[in-house]
Amino acid sequence: MIELDAALGWREVAAIAEGAPVAISDAAERRIRAARSLVESIVEKGLRAYGVNTGVGALCDIVVDASRQRQLSRNILMSHAVGVGAPLGAAETRAIIAAAINNFVRGASGVRLEVVAALVTLLNRGCLPEVPSRGSVGYLAQMAHIALVLIGAGHARLDGERCTGAEALQRLGVPPLVLEAKEGLSLVNGTPCALGLAVIALQRMEALLEWADAVAAMSFENLHGQGAAFDARALALRASPGLERVGANLRTALDGSGILEAAAGSRTQDALSLRAIPQVHGAVRDVFTYGAAVIDRELGSVTDNPIVTGTAEAPRVHSQAHAVGAAIGLAADSLGIAIAELAAMSERRIDRLVNPLVSGLPAFLAADSGTSSGFMIAQYTAVSLVAENRRLAAPASLDGGVTSGLQEDHLSHATPAASKWLQILENVEAILAIEALAAAQAYDLQPGSHARAPRNDATYRALRAVAAFYRDDRPLADDIARARALLRLGLPAALQAA
């Protein structure tokens, strides 16, 4: 059980995305109730407040009287539920809901406790609103589809079945909400969608970073690299925590290698895709550390508009731009570029493994050269995915655009940035899976009897547990899929550097 009180960190949101139940602390409940009293005071006093008693976007100067404020909240959900495309997955949807609840418990949004409790019920009972994955320039659309279910509209999945929002609430024993002033706007506002997607991407990227080092070490050994490139004293001359971590991982993975011992001193230096593994993988890790810190800061922030503060006697409403997700968009763009570069280097190592001119191994790692193509076309797949990553890595943060009649004339595109980062990670998983399988195949084709490094041998055996030696006797795509599933689980602790 994860209690929502202080701001959640990204790892806690990731745990909720995987199914951890949640509860709201007593202190958080008090903050939520206090904030709601501020909204009620604003309505009673007739203070002009964006989205409370005015229209939204370019309609912000149109006053909405108290008799129509419920209708305004409901209409906001209906008009903002304009998403298109395939629905988000269960983990992504849960992460978004968790990020929304995390925002509300800060006590500055002014929604009723009943609204937050209803979102908690969706999580704890496994009711997943159907959320189209596309159609957002920053926020709004995805959360609108989630909020529809709270009022008995839209669609959801419950117990593996698709049903209407009304049917889902009936089966949960929860009455549909009638939204009060400001609640419609608060439910669609802020950065929960971008944050939820970013958390899922962080979790997947962290797992890939560990595998990337392990797989690169196997390729390095197969290609008879010069281990001196990873000397701890030499690497320490460049200030980078990520570089130091990767260097340590590589030294552990390669320790005790008879293959490298036999190849020592045979070349002055290796190709950059081999000797620059610490510099590139390390830089990616440094970007990851920065990006994770940004996401944690955003989770610790209030991202509603407007924000309510003060007391019931003297309420204050702050109509600002905290809902703009520029920090998330920039971080997601950077992380997408970083992991795309790591994968581009992986593809270069795949090419070296399958090229007999540099590997000294059978062409394309084929079991029977001539009648078998081995990994020839798998490398094509990696090239294709690297090229696609290059296109996806174009920064969404610079896309711009003008919406809402010039009222919203600068857009951060945080949600699209996080979404395409996830698409890049999909490709990276496949590229690293291909390199892992190629490296395992290369071990089986190594001439001589020199021993593999023990840690690399353990990684090899983990891969061989899901994919046998390849003889062009089955679709290689199936092996790639199995290796990819293994990578997504994360590198087992037994295979990680001490």
Question: Hey, is 155 helix, strand or coil?
Answer: strand
Got the DSSP string for 310-337?
Answer: E-SSSEEEE--STT--HHHHHHHHHHHH
Q: Does residue 470 have an active-site annotation?
A: no
> CB of 383 within 8 A of CB of 347?
yes
DSSP H or E run through 241: helix 241-254
Distance between CA atoms of 268 and 277, rounded to whole angstroms? 17
Amino acid at 18: E
Q: Alpha helices of 157-240 — where are they, by DSSP H?
A: 165-172, 183-188, 192-222, 232-235
What is the DSSP-derived secondary structure letter of residue 140?
A: S
> CB of 30 within 8 A of CB of 378?
no
What is the DSSP-derived secondary structure letter of residue 57?
A: G
> CB of 434 within 8 A of CB of 349?
no
φ, ψ of residue 85 in degrees (nearest 5): 90, 180
**Of 458, 117, 111, 441, the residue nearest 257 (C-alpha):** 458
Q: How many CA atoms lie within 13 A of 463 on its CB side?
A: 31
Got the DSSP string for 416-431?
Answer: HHHHHHHHHHHHHHHH
Q: Which of 50, 139, 460, 470 is catalytic?
A: 50
Which pair of structure tokens corresponds to residue 241? 């925590």
Active-site positions? 50
